[in-house]
Amino acid sequence: METDKRIVNAMAELLRVQGYAATGIQQLARAAKAPTGSIYHHFRGGKREVAAAALRQTGAVYIQVLPMLLDEHADLATGVEAAFAAAAEDIENTGWANMCPVGTVTGEIADTEPELREVAAEVLTSWVEEGTRYLAGRGLSGTDARALTYALISALEGAFILARGQRSTEPLLAAGRAMAAYTATLPAGASPSSGEKVGPSGADFGEGVGGF
Amino acid sequence: METDKRIVNAMAELLRVQGYAATGIQQLARAAKAPTGSIYHHFRGGKREVAAAALRQTGAVYIQVLPMLLDEHADLATGVEAAFAAAAEDIENTGWANMCPVGTVTGEIADTEPELREVAAEVLTSWVEEGTRYLAGRGLSGTDARALTYALISALEGAFILARGQRSTEPLLAAGRAMAAYTATLPAGASPSSGEKVGPSGADFGEGVGGF
DNA sequence: GTCTATATTTGGATAGAC
DNA sequence: GTCTATCCAAATATAGAC
């Protein structure tokens, strides 16, 4: 693989495990099997620019996860609960490792790294837009689709933190039940097979991406 | 104030703003107006031990917030939505500053600092127990009370992250609506004035505690 | 107990040979 | 473009005067 790709992938992995501040350039160089000088050759902006690239890449990968999981169930509320249950199983099976760096890094740098915060905001916005589009395709109104998307991402990110902290699937399962109950109260949750598929198909998670 | 209290308060504030890894001992000493030597005199375990003390202190303070907010409304679902709306207003008014360090720090250190992770887990568990006790007092069954508590904390922590990242109250409002709808589906949500009050009264947030 | 000074290591970043 | 060597500032932690 090209050096710059290796650097970005290694950064994404380190961000996932230990966050931004705790990740050093030398550690990154070791993980990417590249000398420190190469990092600054490919990323003039140093650590910050590498982290930004890693966040964008991860965001583009994970944007496909939720639609893919929900597509498997005809009933939307059932799909929501199943998606949280799948996340719970995954996080337990990987030894309570973090699933995705975006939430962790956002919380860490939102008040101290304006440029990275903007990148994180872009990624989150892309998730919301994609989720809203998908849920509208499943029959929800535009406002309901957007509100549900925000609630789903919030509950998922928060439950991930509790689950990792407590080493328990209970937060994810409880959040899933809650979001499923909320989904069931929304009008017109249609089957995914009414008309054509709306979610992106053939999700390809690449090579260096851990989790899920 | 005594030196050790100043150190813990300063650490709590720094954790809230920039997390654990980004917080240095010298920065902490400056913020606490104490020389670095004093920190190691009072906390043999160094940075880690100070952070543990700060997490425990913050946890004890925030355990009173949710019951206090929910007590203001006779209808539980209404109270839930109002609590999220209040959080949204607070975070916007404070310039999107972090409200509470526990979630942020937990995400940051869950895979790398076992001792701090255990402290965070204890704090989260105490929140869950207190929330469950309160909601059971409002008429929910034990299992429903516990599941709702987990879902509420998860949604709140996750929505905080999205709100800070996007500088928007929308995630908190959407999460609040979702959790209110879920709450309304649970049987027997009683009024807080049926019988005596169950929440801790006279919440005192101390002096050096930001947010809320 | 408080505080100064410092030991030691590691941080991000750069210059320049190849 | 790759990689080595290194600069300088900052990190955690300690020793010891007061």
Domain range A3-58, its CATH number among 1.10.10, 2.60.40, 1.20.1050, 1.10.20: 1.10.10
DSSP letter assigned to residue A74? S
CB-based contact A153 B146, cutoff 8 Å: no
Q: Residue B189 CA to chain centroid, in angstroms?
A: 24
CB-based contact A178 B151, cutoff 8 Å: yes
Question: CB under 8 Å to B30, separation ≥6 — which residues?
Answer: none
Q: In the prediction, which pLDDT does B1 show?
A: 84
Q: In the prediction, which pLDDT does B188 show?
A: 75
pLDDT tens digits along A14-61: 999 999 999 999 999 999 999 999 999 999 999 999 999 999 999 999
Q: In the prediction, which pLDDT does A192 show?
A: 61
Q: What percent of chain B has pLDDT over 90?
A: 85
In three-state secondary structure terms, B140 is coil
Nearest beta carbon to residue B98 from set A111, A124, A164: A111
Interatomic CA distance for residues B150 and B170, integer angstroms: 21
Categorize the per-residue pLDDT at A70 as very low, low, confident or very high, splitting at 50, 70 and 90. very high
Q: Look-up: residue for tokens 């807080």? A: B192
Q: Which residues of B touch A124 (CB under 8 A)?
A: 162, 165-166
In three-state secondary structure terms, A193 is coil
Task: Copy the structure tokens of residue A63.
Answer: 């944007």
Residue spans of alpha helices (H) in B75-169: 76-93, 101-109, 114-137, 142-166
Burial class (CB in 10 A: 0-12, 13-18, 19+), B168: buried
AA identity, residue A55:
L
Task: State the nearest residue by CA to the C1' of C3.
Answer: B35
* Signed CA dihedral, A182, A184, A190, A192: sign only: positive
Interatomic CA distance for residues A105 and B21, integer angstroms: 12
AA identity, residue A51:
A
Nucleotides of C under 7 A from a protein CB: 1-6, 10-16
Helices A142-166 and A170-185: crossing angle in degrees, nearest 10, is 170
Interatomic CA distance for residues B63 and B88, integer angstroms: 18
pLDDT tens digits along A71-105: 999 999 999 999 999 999 999 999 999 989 999 99
Higher pLDDT, B196 or A10: A10
Interatomic CA distance for residues A148 and B205, integer angstroms: 33
Q: Which of B15, B20, B161, B177 would you mutate first to test chain A, the one with the most A CBs within 10 A?
A: B161
Q: Which residues of B touch A172 (CB under 8 A)?
A: 154
CB-based contact B112 A159, cutoff 8 Å: no
User: Domain extents for chain B?
Assistant: 3-56, 63-185
Contact status, residue B61 vs residue B205, Cβ threshold 8 Å:
yes
Contact status, residue A185 vs residue B185, Cβ threshold 8 Å:
yes
**Span B3-56 CATH architecture:** Orthogonal Bundle (1.10)
Contact status, residue B157 vs residue B143, Cβ threshold 8 Å:
no
Residue-wise pLDDT tens for chain B (212 aa)? 889 999 999 999 999 999 999 999 999 999 999 999 999 999 999 999 999 999 999 999 999 999 999 999 999 999 999 999 999 999 999 999 998 999 999 999 999 999 999 999 999 999 999 999 999 999 999 999 999 999 999 999 999 999 999 999 999 999 999 999 999 999 975 556 544 444 454 344 333 333 33
Higher pLDDT, B63 or A197: B63
Q: In the prediction, which pLDDT does A147 show?
A: 98
pLDDT tens digits along A171-183: 999 999 999 999 9
Output the distance from B6 CA to C7 C1' rounded to whole Å.
27
Contact status, residue B60 vs residue B203, Cβ threshold 8 Å:
no
pLDDT tens digits along A122-137: 999 999 999 999 999 9
Contact status, residue A11 vs residue A53, Cβ threshold 8 Å:
yes
- Closest nt to residue B36, judged CA to C1': C3
Q: Which of A157, A160, A164, A167 would you mutate first to test chain B, the one with the most B CBs within 10 A?
A: A157
Q: What percent of chain A has pLDDT over 90?
A: 86
Q: In b/e form, how buried is each residue of A11-23, taking b as 16+ CB within 10 angstroms?
A: bbbbbbbbbbbbb
Please tell me the CATH code under which domain B63-185 is placed: 1.10.357.10
